[in-house]
A and B are shown apart, each in its own frame.
Chain A
Amino acid sequence: MQVNRLTNGGRIKRDKPIEFSFNGRQLGGFEGDSLASALLANGVDVVGRSFKYHRPRGLVGCGAEEPNAILQVGSGRTTLPNQRATQVELYHGLVANNVNGWPSVDFDLMAVNGLFHRMLAAGFYYKTFMWPVSMWDRYEHSIRKSAGWGTVPEGNDPHHYEHHNAHCDVLIVGAGPAGLAAALAAGRAGARVILCDEQSEPGGSLLSSAEQIDGKPAAEWVAAVLAELQGMDEVTLLPRGTAFGHYDHNFVGILVREADHLGEQLAEGAIRQRLWRVRARRVVHAQGAFERPLVFGNNDRPGIMTASAVSTYVHRYAVLPGRSAVVFTNNDSAYRTALDIVAAGGEVVALVDSRAGGAGAIGAEVEAAGIRVLKGYAVVDTRGRKRVAKARLMKLDAGGTAVSGAGEWLACDLIAMSGGWSPAVHLHSHAGGKNDWDEEKACFVPGESNQRARAAGAGNGTFELAACIAEGLAAGAEAAQLSGNGDGTAPPAPQVESRAENPIVPLWRVPGEKSVERGPKQFVDYQNDTCSSDIRLACREGYKNIEHVKRYTALGFGTDQGKLGNINGMAILAETLGQSIPETGTTTFRPAYTPVTFGAGAGREIGAELFEPVRKTAMHAWHQAHGAAFEVVGQWHRPWYYAREGEDMHAAVQRECRAVRDSVGMLDASTLGKIDIQGPDAAEFLNRIYSNAWLKLPVGSARYGLMLGEDGMVFDDGVTARLGDNHFHMTTTTGGAARVLGWMEQWLQTEWPQMRVHFTSTTDHWATIAVAGPQARKVLEKLCDDIDFSSDAFPFMTFRDGSVAGVPARVFRISFTGELSFEINVDANCGQAVWDAVWDAGQEFGITPYGTETMHVLRAEKGFIIVGQDTDGSVTPQDLGMDWCVKKNADFLGKRSLSRADCVREYRKELVGLRTKNPQIVLPEGAQLVDDPIQPRPIAMIGHVTSSYYSPNCGRSIALALVKGGHKRHGETIYSVLRDGRIIEVEICSTVFFDADNERQKI
């Protein structure tokens, strides 16, 4: 039964009924309802329980400011927690549940907290549950359960979320009177305009207004403006679009909820929300203002709402939330609500105005309607269990600081309150703008913007409708002109009746008979149960800064982010501290204005394919077909090892390691970074970039090089070959290719622009096949008849151009395994064909494909480093024992740092080999090393293991480690202490475990 639904009026579609459920109850509403209006229509008073005291709570507002009706909406994979019922459009089959209140909102066990509220004052959780520290996890669990939180969706979201980039001349946020006027002016001037509004329907406050524009109902003016805007090609309207953040250089994020209102009917895979990323030449903030509650005793009972919310429910949704109302205000605007209630068939028991002088022109209208108006009075307390039942009025003194008289209890089921209006300055604040206190209007208004933006309308403190529209027209024309459209002349303003108003008289806290501490609770922040007494307590305990008080009392912490209670809270703080509101200041608003879903943030960049690109080599499919497990290196997927039937990783790697040393193996080395370097100064450039000498490298030869940062620390390495006098082919580590290219470009462009040299990334152009092992030469000879592979004709560290398997190829004789080894480079498009040919040719030698793990073991047997594994950005060439790779005569990047005091001191961590005393134990990589495992704590760490493997070719475990002063400690015994408590005895040794004389690569 929609007991509170009016028989006429509203913008709902009565011919389109909707069924939905709340906490299991089947209820009915209409298309055009919000979830909140439908709940009110059905007479649902209690929509949630408060955070701390578990008091029953009802709807307070009608928009983003709603603190109480925070619901779980939807079910299964599409359920969303913490939705404001005021901003959820009703759809057929909607399932809503309250998130706080256990076991139910109507019977909440935790309401017992309310009986002990004197214990639960500001900082209660901090003071009570912080000891003992070890118990916090358990306390927190219970507190969170009793506080109530939403639940996450079950399973992956079935819908898509898109990102949309847009540019415009003028972005207008808010399609109320000022925003519509601004859009009209800017659109007529020819500007490209985006007008976004968080509601389903543009119009803002005009949708729930009884005012006349040009002698017609306001909604007709809205319809006419919209029709004109829709006829303009350069104007884009974004209903259901919340501008949630205004960022630097007029970048504004807008979340457009395109299909949330379709609910469960939305097809799998359809687009649900679209995140617009808008760059605007000018921005007009026209978000309007929030009405403030009044802070009086027990002001949180269901049935106590802001006056504007009552008017909105009456006009827009044809819902009268109560039958007999008390209207309590300190300004003129709530008088309109009193008339609205009467016009809708309700009774206004009394209009209580805290101002002794009462209202301006509208006061007479209200009295003419027969409403009892009490001037200079206040509501000081209320009664009622699950809904307000009566209100107590008392006479206020002239300053509003005390009450007197016996007071009077009035029966009522609705209190419409207005404590004045606060402009929504959020976006202005996001963008770095400050706010100024307007004493006359008793609110913060936006100061000068830090961006090319301005505010207009109620959001700028211009509350009166005629002025609001005029300001919107002027702002739109100005923004259009400043973005190159029109001459800045505003279109003529429509006729709006203007009434003489009496100014607001602030009443930040209603005084009571008793002190704040002993009187009934006066709620400031409903969601966090922050009361006026909490703010005063925080002051007494020494908190004077608004940011500290906020954190101590949780004022403004909830999902509403203080939209309702913040200004009242800081005003009460100012009053308590005896200072002005500007002196007290505000907390900082930060994005997001209202919560943004994770889905919208991620957009399409989800899942294995689109979250991060995957790079595959030309031979990837072959690796998959041959059972490769893959290792992710940077974005590359590299074969890790090729397990045969019945093999685990260890068995596969051991087999591959032996095969390379005993016969021959093949490795896909295509992922190595490759940079083509050309120009008359190429050799000189390399000489400056690498720590070793490059000028005299002969054409046809290759050389290993180390790159250092200017701080002297190793950051990449690789082999580079000289293709011609002015032409080099550089290789880098797989993960370092982009970094190295960027590094070289930076130095060339910013420091040495006179050098004539060019770099081209060629990593993807080449497929590289390493053929390594004693039989490597025989394999190559079968595939190639235009290169002489004999050792004399094709020595180590040289390359030859020729053809392999009929494909033009460049073959390098270099080795990362210590074996005789050739690296075949061919056009990547031919990679698979040449790989197949090598595979076929190698069959008679039992050629074995091997992966990165075997490559790591083989290089560790030889003591070859991997930059980034054996180094960590704090390691110099000397630390690695690679002084041979540092030239003495010429400067290079990082050279000067190598002689800094810290780089030449004793006991730097130096790279050494480690042999466990028990050769079967393989140390974990990262294991810490100590001199004395049973010394008193704290134990002095002397280094850590960087690489560790079981080497089948050595028949024992091998490890590389960085150890303080390690180069001088070969032969000494140190210890590794493992997490499981084992103490492993190890001996420091050379980093070379196999073929110390490098004989095998020279055969």
Chain B
Amino acid sequence: MLQIDCPWCGPRDEHEFSYGGEAHIVRPLEPEKLSDEQWADYLFHRSNTKGAFAEQWHHAAGCRRWFNAVRDTASYQIQAVYKPGEKPPVACHVKRADGGAE
């Protein structure tokens, strides 16, 4: 069981949290202008990263706030936690709006 360092509450057991999938997936401002392919990329396509990965967590049984974490998907070690809207404080894979990575 992971121990996750909620930016507001401190370290807590994983069972207090729910997982929110890949972080930094920005909802398109004008969905109606997108092609089906572009919309599908936003809606369905996620990175399958081995290594440092930015993801969303929700402290569901705690402060109920969302935050981001950079977690190594191979070792499960969490390298950083940060608040929504902030940039990842450590190097990691982030999906770009056009489907690539930066």
Q: Which residues of B contact A279 (CB under 8 A)?
A: 3, 13
Query: Bound state CA distance, A745 and B67, in angstroms?
Result: 12
CB atoms of A900 and B36 under 8 A apart: yes
Closest residue of chain A to B26, judged by CB? A751
Note all chain A residues with C-beta closer than 8 A to B39.
Answer: 896-897, 900
Contact present for B34 and A896 (CB under 8 Å) = yes
A248 to B71, CA, bound (A): 12
Q: Tell me how far the C-beta of B10 lies from the nearest C-beta in chain A, rounded to whole angstroms.
A: 13
Chain B residues with CB under 8 Å of A742's CB are 18, 58, 60
One of A247, A250, A891, A901 near B31 (C-beta < 8 A): A891
How many Cβ-Cβ contacts under 8 Å join chain A to chain B? 57
* Residues of chain B contacted by A895 (CB below 8 angstroms): 31-32
A259-B89 Cα distance, complex, nearest whole Å: 50
Quick one: which of A794-845 are within 8 Å of B by CB? none
* B residues contacting the other copy or chain, number (CB 8 A): 28
For chain A, residues 874 to 898, give those with C-beta under 8 angstroms from any C-beta of chain B.
891, 895-897
Minimum distance in angstroms from B86 CB to a CB of chain A: 11
Q: Determine whether the beta carbon of B76 is less than 8 Å from that of A249.
A: yes
In the assembled complex, B84 has its CB within 8 A of some CB on chain A: yes
Q: Give bound CA distance, A247 to B15, whole Å.
A: 14
Asked if A557 is at the interface (CB within 8 A of a chain B CB), the reply is: no
1/0 per residue, CB under 8 A from B, across A541-554: the answer is: 00000000000000
CA distance A974 to B75 in the complex (A): 56
Report chain B residues within 8 Å CB of A897. Answer: 39, 43
Interface flag for B1 (CB, 8 Å): yes
CB distance from A715 to the nearest CB of B (A): 15
At the interface, yes or no: A790 with Cβ under 8 Å from chain B? no
Shortest Cβ distance from residue A741 to the other chain B in the assembled complex, whole angstroms: 9
> What CA separation (Å) do A255 and B28 show in the bound complex?
51
Q: How far is the CB of A897 from chain B (nearest CB, A)?
A: 7
Q: Which residues 39-57 in B have Cβ within 8 Å of A in the complex?
A: 39-40, 43, 56
Are B32 and A746 in contact (CB-based, < 8 A)?
A: no
B57 shortest CB reach to chain A, Å: 11
Determine the distance from Cα of A279 to Cα of B1 in the docked complex, in whole angstroms: 10
Of the candidates A450, A749, A901, which one forms a contact with B66 in the assembled complex, judged by CB atoms under 8 Å apart? A749
B76 lies within 8 A of A248 (CB): yes
Q: Which residues of A contact B40 (CB under 8 A)?
A: 900
Taking the nearest CB of chain B, how far is it from the CB of A757, in angstroms? Answer: 15
Asked, given contacts A249-B1, A891-B32, A895-B31, whether A750 binds B56 with beta carbons under 8 Å apart, the answer is yes
- Give A248 to B73 CA distance when docked, in angstroms: 12
Q: Which of B20, B26, B30 contacts A746 (CB 8 A)?
A: B20
Q: Which residues of A contact B100 (CB under 8 A)?
A: none
A753 at the interface (CB under 8 A from B): yes
For A219-255 the 0/1 string (1 means CB < 8 A from B) is 0000000000000000000000000000111110000
Q: Which residues of B contact A248 (CB under 8 A)?
A: 1-2, 76
Q: How far is the CB of B66 from chain A (nearest CB, A)?
A: 4
CB proximity to A under 8 Å, residues B1-40: 1-3, 13, 18, 20, 26-28, 30-32, 34, 36, 39-40
Report if A788 contacts B (CB, 8 A).
no
Q: Which residues of A lie under 8 Å from residue B85 when comparing CB positions?
A: 753
**What are 24 A-to-B residue pairs whose CB atoms are below 8 Å?**
A248-B1, A248-B76, A249-B1, A249-B76, A249-B77, A250-B3, A251-B1, A251-B13, A432-B76, A450-B75, A710-B27, A710-B43, A711-B43, A742-B58, A742-B60, A746-B20, A749-B66, A749-B84, A750-B84, A891-B30, A891-B31, A891-B32, A896-B39, A900-B40
Chain A residues near B (Cβ < 8 Å):
247-251, 279, 432, 450, 710-711, 742, 745-746, 749-751, 753, 891, 895-897, 900-901
Q: A432-B76, A750-B66, A896-B39 are in contact. List 6 more A-B contacts (CB 8 A).
A: A250-B3, A745-B64, A751-B27, A897-B39, A900-B36, A900-B40
